[in-house]
Structure 1
Amino acid sequence: MSISTTNPKLNQILSSQDLSVLNERSNLKGIRQLAGHLGIMGVSGYLWATQMNHWPIAIPALILYGFSLAAMFAPMHECTHRTAFANNRLNEIVAWFAGLLSFYNSTFYRRYHKWHHRYTQIPDKDPELDDLKLNNLKEYIIEVSGLTWWIGKIRTHTRIALGKVENYPFIPETAQKEVIRSVRLQLLTYFSAIAISVIFGQLWFFLYWLFPLMVSQPILRMYLLAEHTGCTNDDNSLTNTRTTLTIWPMRFLMWNMPYHGEHHLYASIPFHALSEAHEKLKLHFTHVDSGYINVNRNIINNLGQ
């Protein structure tokens, strides 16, 4: 994805030699990262399933397990850029299943996100700006709760499954059938999981997917709010995106996407090279802030301005 900016010098900060090294994709690093993410999901999910009556263990396990599900958004995002793995087919497969776990659809998201990169922070063009308008604390709380996200996802998935794609200009006509098939398959998978739970008289679908994802969604919402909120509404990649310095567990589960300014400036750089890119680029960005709690506190303080 190319950088959308009126200043061509913005994408010439790194030398072609540096960029060539940073752009190198790796199946091994992608598989290792994915295995670690799934490992955290497996261990925390096991603790949640086996220790539900022991709250000192169950509650932290639930939050971690739920966030590891929600954070599958990160590998889906990375794979839609085709930078998680060197093998493009592997990127497509992992993207779809990561979207399944996080309640995104990768086939739809790839087109949506392409426009977000092309028109980052441009009013009436960036689709993310259409989804997010916060004017007061009540709207912020509703957004962070995940309520608007759940409603939006259910509406979008349902609309596309019914073949109604005309309101999504970022989906070209040549991709419409593919997106519709993908969303239908995803919904069929959920319905099948619900049916299995009902047949066996268990709450599996609720306890091990829906409820954990609901509990953890606020963490992901706060993370995503930090990416562009309070940044400039223009095509300057050095000012319209925020890099947030955070703890290693967050960087790991979000596949280094807290280095978001670096990602937007050079979307071709895979997740495992973003920390190195940060060291080369950090002095060029306007928004390099510490901690998601701090960023969200500033967002609250500036609501309505």
Structure 2
Amino acid sequence: MTTEDGPMSKTSQHSPAPDHRSVAARLGAETLARLNRTADAPGLWHLAGHGGLILGLGIWIAQGWVLWWALLPVQGIALCFLFTLEHEATHKTPFATPWLNEAAGHLSGLLILLPFTWFRYFHLAHHRHTNDPERDPELLSGAKPETWRAYLIHVSGLPYWWGMLGQILHNARDRDPAPYIPARARPRIRREARVMLALYALTGASLLISPLLFWVWLLPLLLGQPALRLYLLAEHGRCAFVANMLENTRTTYTNRAVRYLAWNMPYHIEHHSLPNVPFHRLPELNRLMAEDLRVTSEGYARFTRDYTGTLGDQSR
């Protein structure tokens, strides 16, 4: 299957067509070593901004200040996009200090019901088998929607919440782990799930005393999840089922606010081609790879319009 031509993607003409390995070879060892170098300061500054936004919005909502209700979905988007920090932490790249990566990953996962230890193995399997219908766990856990009904259900975020609650319960029981989970990781995954369930039980108990967490965390999460679902569809949706990262992944050009909330992950071809490059170096990698990018979109509104325009199209 080849990459689709048309408004959803831009396909560069190369002969012979490069793949992500040839791009890495062209960049050379010295450039790669520089790009792969991690640091604490960029990640800490970025985390301060992202976390400060969540805290500030939470205080505004909790105080009931003017138009507080209008900020609920904004708070939800800021919270849900902690996914991109957790995603980065699976690669151990946001920070140079290992414990910072682990702490950021676990805290983000707790807030968005995505167990970090389990997700690391899930996500690394996704990188090994990107867009392989038979081995990519992202596709095996739920194919990209191809009808309007499936699309609306997917974008609602409800399958995510139901699926992750089920996954946490499954992990806590330590039953039938997926093939990408090594035996040595099972005790940690089981312990992680049980700690998460205990903390969620305490959250539920706290609601009997005060509804604060409902208004600043739980309800915003539900309202913000559709934005994350739309964002994530662009990463591989309508991309080729091939091993070449330049064809099975999409880079989406967007505004600075989205890039900031998403920790530069809209540069997704770049990330999949060289996953050890930390988020703050992806814009530079984008410039170095610009001539090689084969599947791009000019914004998420454009991608969504093109994606929905082909829903139910059996000739696609």
RMSD: 1.6
Offset, 1:131: 2.5
Percent of aligned pairs with the same amino acid: 35
Correspondence 1:150-161 to 2 at 5 A: 150-161=161-172
Q: Which residue of 2 aligns with 1:34?
A: 47
Q: Cα distance, 1:13 vs. partner? A: 3.4
Aligned to 1:197: 207
1:146 aligns with 2:154: no
State how far apart, in whole Å, the 2-side matches of 1:6 and 1:263 are: 14
SS at match of 1:239: helix
1:281 partnered with 2:292: no
Of 133, 137, 141 in structure 2, the residue corresponding to residue 131 of structure 1 is 141
Matching residue of 1:109? 119
1:208-257 deviation digits (Å, cap 9, x = unpaired)? 22110000100000000000001101111111000111111111111001
Q: Does the CA contact (< 8 Å) of 2:263 and 2:279 recur in 1?
A: yes
Give matches, 1:124-273, under 5 Å: 124-133=134-143, 134-164=145-175, 166-198=176-208, 200=209, 202-273=210-281
Report 1 or 2 for greater relative contact order, CA contacts < 8 Å, sequence distance ≥ 6: 2
- 1:179-207, Cα deviation, whole Å (9 max, x unpaired): 11111111211111221221x2x222322
Measure how far apart 1:8 and its partner are: 4.1
CA distance in 2 between partners of 1:285 and 1:34 (Å): 29
Deviation at 1:11, TM superposition (A): 3.2
Q: Would the aligned equivalents of 1:10 and 1:237 in 2 still touch at CA under 8 Å?
A: no
Contact 1:194/1:205, CA 8 A, preserved across alignment: no
Q: Where does residue 14 of structure 2 map in the other structure?
A: none
Code of the aligned partner of 1:34:
L
Report deviation, 1:29. 1.0
Q: Counterparts of 1:67-82 in structure 2 under 5 Å?
A: 67-82=77-92
Name the CA distance, whole Å, in 1 between partners of 2:19 and 2:253: 28
Q: 1:11 aligns with which of 1, 9, 24?
A: 24
Structure 1 residue 7: Cα displacement:
7.4
Instruction: State TM-score, norm by structure 2.
Output: 0.89
C-alpha distance after superposition, 1:101-128 (max 9, x if no partner): 1221110000000100000011110000
Please state if 1:46 is matched with 2:97: no
Decide whether the 8 Å contact of 1:282 with 1:288 is kept in 2.
no
Q: 2:211 & 2:190 partners in 1: Cα distance? A: 29
Q: CA deviation at 1:154?
A: 1.2
CA deviation profile, 1:22-44 (whole Å, cap 9, x unmatched): 11101111111111101111111
**1:9: how far off?**
2.2
State the alpha-carbon separation in 1 of the partners of residues 240 and 194 from structure 2.
37
Aligned-partner Cα distance in 2 for 1:292–1:6: 25
Q: Which amino acid aligns with 1:136?
A: T
Runs of 4+ in structure 1 deviating by more than 6 angstroms, as ranges, are none
Structure 1 residue 290 displacement after superposition = 1.1
What pairs with 1:75-90 in structure 2 (closer than 5 Å)? 75-90=85-100
**2:308 alignment counterpart:** 300
Unmatched segments (≥5 aa) in structure 1: none
Moved more, 89-98 or 129-138: 129-138
2 CA distance for matches of 1:11 and 1:21? 13
Structure 2 counterparts to residues 84-99 of structure 1, below 5 A: 84-99=94-109
Q: What TM-score does the superposition give when structure 1 sets the normalisation length?
A: 0.93
State whether residues 19 and 245 of structure 2, in contact with CA within 8 Å, keep that contact through their aligned partners in structure 1.
Answer: no
Preserved contact between residue 81 and residue 262 of structure 2 (Cα < 8 Å): yes
Rounded Cα–Cα distance in structure 1 between residues aligned with 2:180 and 2:281: 29
Aligned-partner SS, 1:269: coil
Q: How many residues align?
A: 295
Structure 1 residue 49: Cα displacement: 1.9
Distance in 2, Cα, partners of 1:131 & 1:299: 20
Cα offset for 1:161? 1.1
